[in-house]
Structure 1
Amino acid sequence: MKLHLAIFLLSIVCLTNLNAQKLENSTLWKIEGNGLQQASYLFGTIHITCDATIEDDVQKALDATSQVVLEIDMDDPGMQSKMMKGMYMKEGKKLKDLISTEDYIAVDSLFIKNMGMSVKMIENIKPSFLTAMLYPKLLDCTSQSFETELMRIAKEQGEEVNGLETIEDQLKVFDDIPYKAQAQDLVRSAKDNMSYDKETFAKMLNVYKNEDITAMIEMLNDDNFSSVSEHQDELLDNRNKNWVPKIGKYAKEQATFFGVGAGHLAGHNGVINLLREAGYTVTAVK
């Protein structure tokens, strides 16, 4: 349960940058220079997929490093309780306070149909988290996660798992984005029983398979997901900027494998460009 909650959280904060710059098609990048004694690696994940097989080049990078750093420390024993506290809207808000009666009925029908329960039972949860609960329904398979696989390998290798930000940092994003904006995206999904979402996610999986991290950014800047497209600073840019000095600190201490959502890699404010601006040499691993 703890891990599933964490994957849901990662899925709704792994978003995109409006200012894409074309990079080589690769989800694995080598970090060198700027005082590093050993190379570290940056891997772009997709948090929910049908096939989270770790390929040979990624396995070699894991073998060459001595710790794994994800967006959050997913083996934190206090993670589940922290997430549960942060999932609820502040000031006693409920979904019915944010949308019309007609739209509420549509969302309720969506949950009954796909989750086997009424949204009335959980309507005080932030709308983005309600949306995330439906994510496994976008797949025609049993969902898998790269984060789960990376944690498994780290455990097998006796390595520590750390995070670039805290659970509280990620949860705060969904207080900074207006609840009404989050609710409208949920309503849009309800009105076509997630048909558009399923089509979009299938395209995203294909883009990820091709390792086209620039196309992933362009695709995810979709006005149909307004809580994403209108809140890039909170969802992506500010977080990337906060991560870069932490990446440098971890990498200088020991060779590190960093695993973050692939949507964070490309773009002017993407992690790759920000690391280069900080003086690191970042090259695609083919």
Structure 2
Amino acid sequence: MKNRISKILKFALCSIFIVQVAFAQQPKEKALLWKVTGNGLEKPSYVFGTIHLICADKYEMSDAVLNAVENADKIALELDMDDPAMNAKIQQLSINPGMKNIQEHIPADKVEVVDNYFKAKYGQGIAQMGVLKPFVLSSMVLLGNMSCETRQFEAEFVKLAAAQEKELIGLETVEYQIGLFDDLSTEKQIEALIEAIETPEESNKMMNEMMAAYTEKDLKQLGKIIKDNEDFEGFNDKLLVQRNKNWIPIIEKLSREQSVFYAVGAGHLTSEEGVIALLRKEGFTVEAVK
């Protein structure tokens, strides 16, 4: 059970690609792979936008992406997915402090709804599952509602790093990512959990729209979809803008040392405060790779 939860949460933690629609230096090209040169770099680096939850029949790893990985000296993901200590960290951080159960925070008329869902899907009710943080349970619901077999780009990059004997690193820690959700109140997290259980058609509709935009490499449309589905005011700034700003000095430092292939959620590549625009503001040349 713990291993299953760990895998689900690890998957969910890498699915933060909230997008804001903006202008200025927002990339206009339909592209997911970008080449970074200039500003004193000895070798090019690459930035690739992923979608962390996609149906297997829509999954595609292009030759251009594979070539970029092969040409790079190092691979950087949002998290170091190859860290042997990550499973233990995730298991520890996904449980409520003191093993407290969230059941007392669920509205009385919704307890049975939540309990029945987890008994049907996972064989255990809220009495057992409720020690997990609500956002962890929400991620399990969203994955459980998917009607297709899914693939994960990050898992493939972990395999490629091992096969090509390249170092794999993370741009941030799992503690930081989980902390973003911990900043949301328990009540807001439970609200999202109940909504995910009661309206699976809504989340499926959004995911289908996002997958369609992604396969068309249409970052602007992807941004519009996510913007229209924003749940909590101000949360986008934490999930997107601040993280982009955190990554830029790291990307600059690493890219000056070696050629690096960066793979982050596609939403981080759009808007005037996205990774592409911020790198251009720092003086780098960032070009779409078709």
Answer yes or no: same fold by TM over 0.5.
yes
Shift of 1:124: 2.6
Distance across 1 between alignment mates of 2:7 and 2:41? 32
Matched, 1:75 2:78: no
Q: 1:42 aligns with which of 47, 52, 64?
A: 47
**Contiguous gaps of at least 5 residues in structure 1:** none
Shift of 1:107: 2.0
Distance across 1 between alignment mates of 2:36 and 2:244? 16
For residue 17 of structure 1, give the secondary structure of its aligned residue in structure 2.
coil
State the partner residue of 2:162.
Answer: 155
State the partner residue of 1:281.
Answer: 285
Shift of 1:217: 1.5
State the partner residue of 2:186.
Answer: 179
AA in 2 matched with 1:62: V
AA in 2 matched with 1:213: L
Distance across 1 between alignment mates of 2:20 and 2:137? 24
AA in 1 matched with 2:112: I
What is the identity percentage for the equivalent residue pairs of Structure 1 and Structure 2? 34
- TM-score, normalised relative to structure 1: 0.91
Distance across 2 between alignment mates of 1:178 and 1:5? 19
State the partner residue of 1:30.
Answer: 35
Distance across 2 between alignment mates of 1:279 and 1:178? 39
AA in 2 matched with 1:218: K
AA in 1 matched with 2:61: I
**Residue 27 of structure 1 contacts residue 44 of structure 1 at CA under 8 Å; is this kept in 2?**
yes
State the partner residue of 2:60.
Answer: 53
Q: 2:102 aligns with which of 91, 95, 98?
A: 95
Shift of 1:4: 4.6
AA in 2 matched with 1:245: P
State the partner residue of 1:249.
Answer: 253
For residue 75 of structure 2, give the secondary structure of its aligned residue in structure 1.
strand
For residue 81 of structure 2, give the secondary structure of its aligned residue in structure 1.
coil
Distance across 1 between alignment mates of 2:71 and 2:250? 20
| Alpha carbons of structure 1 residues 98 and 237: separation in structure 2 relative to 1, 3 Å | farther
AA in 2 matched with 1:183: I
**Residue 9 of structure 2 contacts residue 139 of structure 2 at CA under 8 Å; is this kept in 1?**
no
State the partner residue of 1:141.
Answer: 148
State the partner residue of 1:16.
Answer: 19
For residue 153 of structure 1, give the secondary structure of its aligned residue in structure 2.
helix
Deviations 1:109-128 (A, max 9, x none): 22233333213212132211
State the partner residue of 2:126.
Answer: 119
Shift of 1:22: 5.6
Shift of 1:233: 1.9
Question: How many equivalent pairs are there?
Answer: 282
Distance across 1 between alignment mates of 2:61 and 2:127? 40
**Residue 210 of structure 2 contacts residue 225 of structure 2 at CA under 8 Å; is this kept in 1?**
yes
Deviations 1:219-252 (A, max 9, x none): 11234x514x541122111111101111111111
**Residue 3 of structure 1 contacts residue 74 of structure 1 at CA under 8 Å; is this kept in 2?**
no
| Alpha carbons of structure 1 residues 4 and 156: separation in structure 2 relative to 1, 3 Å | farther
Q: 1:189 aligns with which of 182, 187, 196?
A: 196
Distance across 2 between alignment mates of 1:63 and 1:70? 15
| Alpha carbons of structure 1 residues 138 and 204: separation in structure 2 relative to 1, 3 Å | farther
Distance across 1 between alignment mates of 2:262 and 2:284? 15
State the partner residue of 1:213.
Answer: 219
State the partner residue of 1:260.
Answer: 264
For residue 260 of structure 1, give the secondary structure of its aligned residue in structure 2.
strand
Moved over 6 A (4+): none
Moved more, 179-188 or 249-258: 179-188
**Residue 49 of structure 1 contacts residue 139 of structure 1 at CA under 8 Å; is this kept in 2?**
no
| Alpha carbons of structure 1 residues 274 and 98: separation in structure 2 relative to 1, 3 Å | farther
Distance across 2 between alignment mates of 1:19 and 1:115? 41
**Residue 21 of structure 2 contacts residue 220 of structure 2 at CA under 8 Å; is this kept in 1?**
no
**Contiguous gaps of at least 5 residues in structure 2:** none
